[in-house]
Structure 1
Amino acid sequence: MEKIVKLASENGILIFTKSSCCLCYTVQILFQELGVRPRAHEIDGDPEGKEIEKALTRMGCSGPVPAVFISGKLVGSTNEVMTLHLSGSLVPLIRPYQQRTMSQ
């Protein structure tokens, strides 16, 4: 969907969320703890929310939320983000967007 691609390309780190989703909140907190402020787009507050949700599923997001995009590319949902984090691969992806120096 065009809206997804446009929002993802305009924001370094974008998370499609729902206001009532605890996993969405958890992923947002993870990014904040890693020193980045992702843009959260709540699809339950978007008039096109149902279409966005369907499009995210078609794009391969297992959730459909949270759906995390970094540098305009779909990273995935909670499982993919946590796998990247635990393997040490997430920090290099987000380094350009970190607001403070993280100790390694």
Structure 2
Amino acid sequence: MDKVMRIASENGLVIFSKSSCCLCYTVNILLTDLGVSPYVHEIDQDPEGKEIEKALLRMGCSAPVPAIFIGGKLVGSTNEVMSLHLSGNLLPLLKPYYSFN
């Protein structure tokens, strides 16, 4: 869990991902299209990937990936991010991370 929190706090916008996950790709494209550049940590390419996966589940993720952190806080997975976007509440969270600030 320490590694997850370190990565999340060192990078303002983080997606814990697996390179073969279509939902991870979709969330990354959504965020990129909204004008932000998330840090994507591919847990299937990390030697500690299994431990990271377990830590994300312990933190409350319904599925280990995608797990999205904004400002060091777990937002959730695809459903939570899409719900925030559809309700208009995602853009204010992303404002500090716009690449055109």
Q: Give the TM-score taking structure 2 as reference length.
A: 0.98
Residue identity matched to 1:9: S
**How far apart, in 2, do the equivalents of 1:85 and 1:60 lie?**
20
Report the RMSD for the aligned CA atoms in angstroms.
0.8
Match of 1:12 in 2: 12
For the residue of structure 1 that corresponds to 2:80, the secondary structure is helix
For the residues of structure 2 that align with 1:92 and 1:16, how far apart are their CA atoms? 21
Segments of 4+ moved more than 6 angstroms: none
Q: Which secondary structure state, in structure 1, belongs to the residue aligned with residue 47 of structure 2? A: coil
Q: How does 1:19-98 map onto structure 2 within 5 Å?
A: 19-98=19-98
% identical aligned pairs: 71
Give 1:88 shift. Answer: 0.3
* Residue 99 of structure 2 is aligned to residue 99 of structure 1: yes
Q: How many residues align?
A: 101
Gaps of 5+ in 2: none
Distance 1:34 1:100 in 2: 11
Question: What SS does the aligned partner of 2:30 have?
Answer: helix
CA-CA distance at 1:100 after TM superposition: 2.5
Describe the superposition over 1:22-59 as per-residue Cα deviations: whole angstroms up to 9, x where unpaired.
Answer: 00000000000000000000000000000100110110
Is the partner of 1:83 in helix, strand or coil?
helix
